């Protein structure tokens, strides 16, 4: 394949709500550029972009797919991102690799929740964007009402560059507002609208150049060349957001989109410098986007391929990378030797000799390189801060169904978390459960389906247990003498302890106040060991005992019968008896929760959080949305992702992190203790 670089590459991310038509547009672009002999279709299961068996089965994108098409001397890299909210990490990781985004909006459905969420991410990245209004051949597809909604939601800088010729089943082409190509197909009313839109477009882009805007204000006619030049400038600076239109299945409007991508969309060279950090000095360092500079780049996606193993997908920022050599992983501080380089066409890997500045490539079987890592040379160590981590919002507990599954699950989950940064796998140290966390129900269901289909691991899925703990509220003294005689040598241990509460979070303190050797020194560690063992087992409901101070102040021993075990047992029994008199209580994890919603849902969400024993701490505005900050017990948040989606029609999102432990109300305590005893009975039987 020919070498492409910073001026001959266009990196385009297709983004939108799920089902708007991104993948169909990607397939249509490939077919239009003759990269494939037959256009792929999602509904037929032969899309070039959605090639994963799970994607084919569900008919939705779950992975960001990397494709490319060649138009003339320009290579267009296409990153087709998932639209479903649960796979948002794929979008977040892909955005830094793109120079422009195309927001796909289905005309029949208009602006949906995912479109608004995506727009916010693009704003955050300050990424230039265009809009493609799709599905104009469908019933109830109204281009002009869709444009009105777009301008109302996203601003007047969004303005059409093309208008549809015909409507719904009669949609047959597009008319170019700048060149007036296709205007003959417009009705008289549409031509009036076209003139107004054309005037608006020119007015917006003219501002990008002082000389041109002066000429425009003086009512002088702008040449086609002048309009095109300021269009490129305004587009790069997001001063204008052009609206395209079409029908991807029939390819209407796709050729025109490709032509504008080639001639007007910003190339990597348009971004002259990218800011990074020198890994040694920690000072800011600007990298020039040119092929004749030292090599730098970053990995923005990892793919587990069943045939070649782990594929690392990277973008070259400066310089170039050649096959069968090495690079320096700036993030991990290690060198990586590698073999063949590839460019991707969906699941197909096409070998190439070199990947130059601005281009996207892939390499297999890197040992220490993962998504988000920065690449460079031994003397050119620049870190790019591209990671867009998000906290998971929902968790399941996993239990392998067979011993064979148990042996395979760790390796399978390790590969999955490398590929999908939205997934977290942890083992709760208290409950001993294996916890799989993700961005939503669909995300975790797909992950479990992948465990079965790709890695042949069967698991039982449950709701995670809450890590309750036990503690006390008053100081008590306790005594237990353990004495046992059975023929030969007996057992004897006698301890007197004081048990008192500690401040929350201090866990445990053991104090030795033995005077005169009433408990020999060699048995004092045995007393502490017995106390700690009983603390792990719990007293009132089987949860770990925390935040207590135990003082050993007296006891007795037997010269022959005393032993390490006898003092351990005596200490454990003394602790148990004392705790029951010390006002024992359960404490539960309380989470700091931030819920982002539209203002119309404020009342419902506040009421719902209160019903979950939550305390609202405050509210603040985040763009067009409201953020509610609250503290809510974890036990009330286990299914919140699903409930929030239902309450807000999918428009709400939330994050949570551990805040502190707090006493459980008495009614809940009784229920938890009762459930704990039922579990104990089941385990006995």
> Which is nearest to 614 in space by CA: 597, 635, 587?
635
Residue 88: band (very low, low, confident or very high) from pLDDT cuts 50, 70, 90: confident
Is the confidence at residue 681, as pLDDT, over 60? no
* Mean pLDDT value of segment 586-592: 91
Q: Which residue has the higher pLDDT, 656 or 313?
A: 313
Place of tokens 């991310």: 13
For residue range 217-250, what is the model confidence (pLDDT) as tens digits?
A: 887 888 888 888 899 999 999 999 999 999 999 9
pLDDT at 388: 63
pLDDT winner (highest mean) among 111-115, 259-263, 274-278: 259-263
Residue 127's Cα: distance from chain center in Å? 19
Place of tokens 């030797």: 337
Q: Phi and psi dihedrals of 65, rounded to 5?
A: -105, 140
**CATH code assigned to 273-383:** 2.40.30.10
DSSP state of 52: S
For residue range 501-538, what is the model confidence (pLDDT) as tens digits?
A: 999 989 999 999 998 899 999 999 999 999 999 999 88
Average pLDDT of every residue of the chain: 90
Residue 685: band (very low, low, confident or very high) from pLDDT cuts 50, 70, 90: very low
* Mean pLDDT value of segment 581-606: 92
Percent of the chain at pLDDT > 70 equals 97
Stretch(es) of the chain classified as CATH 2.40.30.10:
273-383
Stretch(es) of the chain classified as CATH 3.30.230.10:
470-583
* Mean pLDDT value of segment 401-421: 87
Q: Phi and psi dihedrals of 577, rounded to 5?
A: -65, -40
Q: Rounded distance, CA 433 to CA 653, Å? A: 26
Supply the pTM of this predicted model.
Answer: 0.78
* Mean pLDDT value of segment 574-588: 95
Q: Which helix (H) or strand (E) holds 149?
A: helix 143-154
Residue 213: band (very low, low, confident or very high) from pLDDT cuts 50, 70, 90: confident
Q: Rounded distance, CA 276 to CA 97, Å? A: 14
pLDDT at 48: 92
Q: Which helix (H) or strand (E) holds 630?
A: strand 625-633
pLDDT at 616: 95
pLDDT at 192: 94
Percent of the chain at pLDDT > 90 equals 59
For residue range 321-347, what is the model confidence (pLDDT) as tens digits?
A: 999 999 999 999 999 999 999 999 999
Residue 55: band (very low, low, confident or very high) from pLDDT cuts 50, 70, 90: confident
Q: In the chain, what are the helix, strand and coil shares in percent, each to the nearest 5?
A: 30, 30, 35
Q: Which residue has the higher pLDDT, 609 or 416?
A: 609
pLDDT at 623: 65
Instruction: Compute the residue count for the chain.
Output: 685
pLDDT at 99: 95
pLDDT at 521: 94
> Which is nearest to 358 in space by CA: 434, 279, 293?
293
For residue range 308-322, what is the model confidence (pLDDT) as tens digits?
A: 788 999 999 999 999
pLDDT at 684: 44
| CATH class given for the domain over 470-583 | alpha beta
Stretch(es) of the chain classified as CATH 3.30.70.870:
394-460
Q: Rounded distance, CA 651 to CA 663, Å? A: 33
What residues does 120 pair with on adjacent strands? none
Is the confidence at residue 114, as pLDDT, over 80? no
For residue range 286-305, what is the model confidence (pLDDT) as tens digits?
A: 898 999 999 999 999 999 87
* Contact indicator for 338, 326 with CB cutoff of 8 Å: yes
Residue 52: band (very low, low, confident or very high) from pLDDT cuts 50, 70, 90: confident
Q: Rounded distance, CA 324 to CA 327, Å? A: 10
For residue range 607-627, what is the model confidence (pLDDT) as tens digits?
A: 999 999 999 999 988 767 788
CATH, domain 9-176+241-270, list 3.40.1190.20, 2.40.37.20, 3.40.50.300, 3.40.190.10 = 3.40.50.300
Q: Which residue has the higher pLDDT, 125 or 625?
A: 125
pLDDT at 679: 60
Q: Rounded distance, CA 95 to CA 99, Å? A: 8
**CATH code assigned to 587-667:** 3.30.70.240
For residue range 630-639, what is the model confidence (pLDDT) as tens digits?
A: 999 989 988 8
Least confident span in 17-31, 86-100, 668-682 = 668-682
* Mean pLDDT value of segment 449-464: 89
For residue range 352-410, what is the model confidence (pLDDT) as tens digits?
A: 999 999 999 999 999 889 999 999 987 888 999 876 667 676 788 899 898 888 888 98
pLDDT at 420: 87
Sheet of strand 284-288: strand arrangement = 284-288, 273-278, 382-383
- Is 394-460 CATH 3.90.650.10? no
Is the confidence at residue 113, as pLDDT, over 80? no
Q: Which residue has the higher pLDDT, 272 or 586?
A: 586
Is the confidence at residue 133, as pLDDT, over 90? yes
Question: Hey, what are 7's tokens?
Answer: 């001026």
For residue range 167-193, what is the model confidence (pLDDT) as tens digits?
A: 999 999 999 999 999 999 999 999 999
Q: Which residue has the higher pLDDT, 194 or 406?
A: 194
* Mean pLDDT value of segment 67-85: 94
pLDDT at 76: 97
Residue 470: band (very low, low, confident or very high) from pLDDT cuts 50, 70, 90: very high
* Mean pLDDT value of segment 87-99: 91
């Amino acid at each position: 394949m020919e070498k492409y670089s910073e001026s001959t590459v266009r990196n385009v991310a297709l983004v939108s709500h799920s089902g708007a038509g991104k993948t169909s547009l990607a397939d249509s672009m490939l077919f239009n550029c003759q990269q494939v002999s037959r256009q792929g279709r999602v509904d037929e299961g032969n899309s070039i972009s959605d090639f994963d068996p799970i994607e084919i089965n569900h008919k939705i994108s779950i992975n960001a797919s990397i494709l490319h098409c060649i138009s003339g001397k320009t290579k267009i890299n296409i990153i087709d991102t998932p639209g479903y909210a649960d796979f948002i990490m794929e979008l977040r990781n892909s955005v830094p690799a793109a120079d422009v985004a195309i927001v796909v909006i289905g005309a029949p459905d208009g602006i949906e929740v995912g479109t608004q969420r995506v727009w916010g991410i693009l704003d955050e990245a300050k990424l230039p964007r265009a809009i493609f209004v799709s599905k104009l051949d469908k019933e109830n597809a109204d281009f002009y009402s869709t444009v009105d909604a777009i301008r109302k939601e996203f601003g007047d800088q969004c303005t059409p560059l093309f208008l549809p010729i015909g409507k719904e089943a009669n949609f047959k082409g597009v008319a170019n507002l700048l060149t007036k190509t296709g205007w003959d197909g417009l009705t008289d009313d549409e031509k009036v609208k076209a003139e107004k839109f054309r005037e608006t477009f020119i007015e917006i882009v003219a501002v990008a150049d002082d000389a041109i805007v002066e000429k425009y204000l003086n009512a002088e006619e702008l040449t086609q060349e002048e309009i095109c030049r300021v269009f490129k400038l305004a587009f790069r600076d997001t001063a204008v957001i052009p609206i395209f239109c079409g029908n991807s299945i029939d390819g209407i409007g796709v050729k025109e989109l490709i032509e504008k991508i080639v001639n007007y969309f910003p190339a990597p060279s348009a971004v002259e410098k990218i800011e990074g950090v020198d890994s040694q000095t920690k000072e800011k360092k600007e990298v020039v986007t040119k092929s004749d500079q030292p090599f730098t780049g970053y990995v923005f996606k990892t793919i587990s391929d069943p045939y070649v193993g782990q594929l690392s997908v990277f973008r070259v920022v400066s310089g170039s990378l050649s096959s069968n050599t090495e690079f320096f992983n700036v993030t991990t501080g290690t060198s990586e030797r590698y073999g063949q380089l590839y460019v991707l066409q969906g699941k197909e890997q096409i070998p190439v000799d070199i990947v130059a500045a601005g281009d996207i490539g892939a390499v297999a079987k890197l040992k220490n390189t993962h998504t988000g890592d920065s690449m460079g040379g031994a003397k050119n160590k620049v870190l790019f801060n591209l990671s867009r981590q998000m906290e998971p919002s929902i968790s399941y507990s996993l239990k392998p169904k067979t011993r064979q599954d148990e042996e395979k699950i760790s390796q399978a989950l390790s590969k999955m978390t490398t590929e999908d940064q939205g997934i977290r796998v942890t083992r709760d140290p208290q409950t001993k459960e294996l916890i799989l966390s993700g961005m939503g129900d669909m995300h975790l269901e797909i992950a479990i389906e992948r465990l079965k289909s790709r890695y042949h691991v069967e698991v039982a899925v449950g709701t995670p247990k809450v890590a309750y703990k036990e503690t006390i509220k008053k100081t008590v003294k306790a005594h237990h003498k353990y004495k046992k005689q059975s023929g030969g040598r007996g057992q004897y241990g006698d301890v007197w302890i004081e048990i008192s509460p500690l401040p929350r979070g201090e866990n445990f303190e053991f104090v030795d106040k033995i005077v005169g050797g009433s408990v020999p020194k060699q048995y004092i560690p045995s007393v502490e060991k017995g106390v700690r063992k009983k603390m792990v087992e719990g007293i009132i409901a089987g949860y770990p005992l925390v935040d207590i101070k135990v003082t050993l102040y007296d006891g007795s021993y037997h010269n022959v019968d005393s032993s390490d075990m006898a003092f351990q047992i005596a200490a454990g029994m003394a602790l148990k008896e004392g705790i029951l008199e010390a006002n024992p209580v359960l404490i539960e994890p309380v989470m700091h929760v931030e819920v982002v919603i539209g203002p119309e849902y404020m009342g419902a969400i506040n009421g719902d959080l209160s019903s979950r024993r939550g305390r609202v701490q405050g509210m603040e505005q985040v763009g067009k949305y409201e953020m509610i900050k609250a503290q809510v017990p974890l036990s009330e948040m286990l299914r919140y992702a699903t409930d929030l989606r239902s309450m807000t029609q999918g428009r709400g999102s939330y994050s949570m992190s551990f805040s502190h432990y707090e006493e459980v109300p008495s009614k809940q305590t009784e229920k938890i203790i009762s459930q704990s005893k039922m579990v104990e009975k089941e385990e006995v039987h």
